[in-house]
């Protein structure tokens, strides 16, 4: 039976009236006041209706309370036990979630119930709905200008251990043998030799592969690979065992880490060199979604785009307009940043908070990204890739006619003798061979000297990159691009203060759920800090407190007079109307 309390009807008595003005003011100015006033009604309770019966069954926990509790848990980076404690005793949580009853039904969740509801929320991707709905509200309430935004990614780790290749093999085999013994005990006894099971399942062998000496690493990993191959071959015709997740991990590790050579009885396993192992290979059997990035390591990464406010003419930034994260996307660590820009622009534009100018590092500044962003009406401020000393990049030193995209003169000031467009859509400019052969820039110049002249050939893409590289050297670009570094501070704040560097969960879906809600928590914190500066901005503290106290007293007197009248005179019902007796 679905339980949802009425949070819309105005109460006759203020349940928080027992708080003195100063403490009430702190409550209103904190994140809890912001959450209660602007975000509480944005909780998408309708998304989990289909998991419960509206009329039958045991009453559910109040949906607003449950979903809000899960969101606040990640904002404060709490364990399940600490979350239950906060829901039971923390006044800020009660105020934010509009809980006024003192019953256990309203203020208590057991850990099992919390985990059950969290699984449902992960399945329905409520984290994305919460983030987008509440962030859009914060952007509107704070009056944030979204025309300028910046994007970057950061590495996040799930709750898994970093394993060497030997440990990946051994743990995968151990997991399969345990699952086979538990689910198909008869097959386990018939097909698995005691020597093989003892090598991986006995307590004395637990962790022994992590203590292998470097001199013994090569023969040990070869032995484990042979065991892995024998298990895959032994059960490859058994359809029931093929459907086990542990068996699929066996076949995955074999294909990613090994190479099977030979045929028939002469088949043998060879270990692939590290450079041939794909970056999306299995890193730990306990988290099969995690991948590897050569720069960042094992785990996941989160793409993050946020607004930023440049300083005004006085050199100061408006602190009442916070920098808020407008887009997040959690993905495996091996994914390139280049492919993350367009989904970010499409998502924010569909929500009405897209940028006119987006900044990123060179990973986001490919020519394709710039062209697609321009088609969306977005200007990309990002440096181009590649070393500045390569001949291809020296094209930026030439002078061009931007209307026709043709070269006008070389860096030494010599105009071309002839310029024409070729059938392949390339542009060819012929310079004087006499000038180019004695030019001091000849060693690094993209002009190629031929028998009948010196030629510079380029296409439209090379022209665009050359113009961008020339623009990167201007003070205008440097002034704009200096604001990109600010997102590094946001990432540091996100990972250190919200616990996003090392999460308590495993798996892409769970990591996404936690990481996105932590980004929402950062937005709430920043918005609360900004809005606190505009709370009764025209009154000093003393007048503010007195005004609040007068309002509370007037309400109290009014309610007291109403109750006194009822108690003194009573009420009578006559012709569907109430009159005093």
Tens-digit pLDDT profile for residues 256-302:
999 998 887 788 899 999 889 998 899 999 999 999 988 888 999 99
Task: Tell me what the mean pLDDT of segment 438-454 comes to.
Answer: 85
Give the torsion through C-alpha atoms of 284, 287, 288, 291, to 10 deg.
Answer: -70
The domain locations on the chain are: 1-124, 125-159+297-383+472-537, 165-276, 391-460
User: What's the rounded Cα separation, in Å, for the pair 492 and 314?
Assistant: 28
Beta bridge partners of 117: none
Q: Helices 367-375 and 460-471 sit at what angle, rounded to 10 degrees?
A: 90
Task: Tell me what the mean pLDDT of segment 89-100 comes to.
Answer: 94
Q: Are 426 and 432 in contact (CB under 8 A)?
A: no
Mean pLDDT of the chain: 87
User: What's the rounded Cα separation, in Å, for the pair 431 and 410?
Assistant: 9
User: Is a pLDDT exceeding 60 seen at residue 35?
Assistant: yes
Record the tokens describing residue 212, joined without a space. Answer: 């292998």
Q: b vs e for 65-85, b when ≥16 Cβ sit within 10 Å of the residue's Cβ?
A: bbbbbbbbbbbbbbebeebbe
User: Quick count: other Cβ atoms within 10 Å of Cβ 250?
Assistant: 22
Question: Going by DSSP bridges, is the β-strand pair 268-271/325-332 parallel, antiparallel, or unpaired?
Answer: unpaired
Mapped onto helix, strand or coil, the DSSP state of residue 330 is strand
Alpha helices in 150-216 (DSSP H): 165-183, 185-191, 194-201
User: What's the rounded Cα separation, in Å, for the pair 36 and 146?
Assistant: 24
Q: What is the pLDDT of residues 145-174, one digit of tens each?
A: 999 999 999 999 999 988 888 889 999 999
Q: Are 454 and 417 in contact (CB under 8 A)?
A: no
Name the band, by pLDDT with cuts 50, 70 and 90, for residue 544.
Answer: very low
408 vs 205, more confident: 408
Q: What is the pLDDT of residues 106-129, one digit of tens each?
A: 999 999 999 999 999 999 999 999
Please give the C-alpha separations between residue 378 and each of 31, 212, 215, 311, 403, in angstroms, as whole numbers: 33, 55, 57, 21, 21
Q: Are 48 and 58 in contact (CB under 8 A)?
A: no
Q: What is the pLDDT of residues 297-331, one digit of tens each?
A: 899 999 999 999 888 767 777 888 999 999 999 99
- Concatenate the DSSP letters of all residues of 365-388 into one string: --HHHHHHHHHTT-EEE-PPPS-T
Q: Which percentage of the chain shows pLDDT scores above 90?
A: 56
The CATH class, in words, for 125-159+297-383+472-537 is: alpha beta
User: Is a pLDDT exceeding 70 seen at residue 549?
Assistant: no
Mapped onto helix, strand or coil, the DSSP state of residue 303 is strand
User: What's the rounded Cα separation, in Å, for the pair 305 and 74?
Assistant: 19
At 182 the pLDDT is 93
Mapped onto helix, strand or coil, the DSSP state of residue 429 is strand
At 181 the pLDDT is 93
């Amino acid at each position: 039976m679905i339980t949802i309390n009425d949070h819309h009807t105005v109460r006759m008595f203020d349940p928080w009236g027992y708080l003195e003005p100063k403490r009430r003011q702190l409550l209103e100015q904190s994140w809890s006041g912001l959450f209660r006033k602007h975000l509480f009604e944005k909780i998408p309770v309708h998304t989990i209706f289909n998991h419960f019966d509206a009329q039958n069954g045991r009453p559910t926990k109040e949906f607003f309370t449950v979903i809000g509790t899960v969101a606040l848990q990640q904002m404060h980076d709490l364990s399940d036990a600490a979350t239950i404690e906060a829901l039971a005793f923390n006044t800020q949580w009660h105020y934010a979630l509009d809980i006024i009853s003192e019953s256990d039904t309203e203020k208590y969740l057991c850990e099992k119930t919390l985990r059950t509801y969290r699984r449902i929320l992960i399945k329905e991707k409520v984290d994305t709905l919460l983030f987008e709905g509440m962030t859009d509200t914060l952007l509107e309430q704070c009056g944030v200008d979204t025309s300028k935004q910046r994007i970057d990614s950061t590495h996040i780790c799930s709750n898994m251990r970093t394993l060497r290749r030997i440990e990946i093999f051994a743990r995968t085999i151990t997991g399969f043998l345990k699952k086979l013994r538990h689910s198909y005990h008869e097959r386990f006894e018939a097909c698995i030799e005691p020597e093989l099971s003892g090598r991986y399942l006995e307590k004395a062998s637990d962790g022994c592969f992590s203590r292998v000496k470097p001199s013994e690493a090569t023969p040990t990993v070869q032995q484990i690979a042979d065991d892995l191959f024998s298990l895959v071959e032994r059960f490859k015709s058994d359809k029931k065992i093929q459907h086990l997740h542990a068996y699929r991990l066996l076949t995955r590790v074999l294909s990613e880490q090994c190479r099977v050579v030979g045929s028939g009885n002469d088949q043998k396993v060879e270990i692939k060199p590290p450079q041939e192992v794909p970056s999306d290979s299995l890193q730990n059997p306990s988290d099969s979604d995690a991948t590897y990035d050569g720069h960042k390591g094992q785990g996941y990464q989160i793409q993050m785009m946020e607004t930023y406010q440049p300083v005004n003419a006085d050199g100061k930034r408006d602190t009442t307009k916070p920098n808020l994260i407008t887009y997040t996307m959690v993905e495996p660590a091996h994914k390139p940043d280049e492919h993350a820009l367009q989904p970010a622009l499409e998502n924010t534009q569909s929500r009405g908070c897209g940028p006119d100018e987006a900044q990123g590092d060179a990973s986001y500044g490919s020519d394709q990204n710039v062209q697609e962003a321009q088609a969306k009406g977005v200007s990309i401020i990002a440096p181009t890739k590649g070393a500045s000393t390569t001949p291809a990049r020296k094209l930026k030193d030439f002078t061009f006619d931007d209307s026709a995209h043709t070269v006008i003169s070389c860096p030494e000031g010599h105009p071309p003798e002839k310029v024409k467009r070729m059938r392949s859509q390339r542009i060819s400019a012929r310079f004087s061979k006499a000038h180019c052969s004695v030019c001091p820039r000849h060693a690094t110049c993209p002009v190629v000297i031929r028998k009948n002249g010196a030629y510079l050939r380029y296409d439209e893409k090379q022209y665009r990159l050359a113009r961008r590289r020339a623009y990167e050297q201007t003070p205008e670009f440097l002034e704009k691009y200096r604001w990109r570094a600010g997102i590094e501070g946001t990432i540091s704040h996100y990972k250190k203060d919200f616990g996003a560097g090392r999460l308590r969960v495993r798996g892409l879906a769970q990591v996404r759920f936690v990481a996105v809600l932590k980004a929402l928590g950062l937005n709430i914190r920043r918005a609360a800090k900004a809005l606190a500066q505009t709370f009764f901005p025209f009154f000093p503290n003393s007048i503010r407190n007195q005004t609040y106290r007068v309002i509370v007293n007037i309400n109290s007197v009014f309610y007291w007079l109403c109750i006194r009248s009822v108690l003194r005179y009573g009420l009578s019902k006559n012709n569907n109307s109430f009159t005093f007796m």
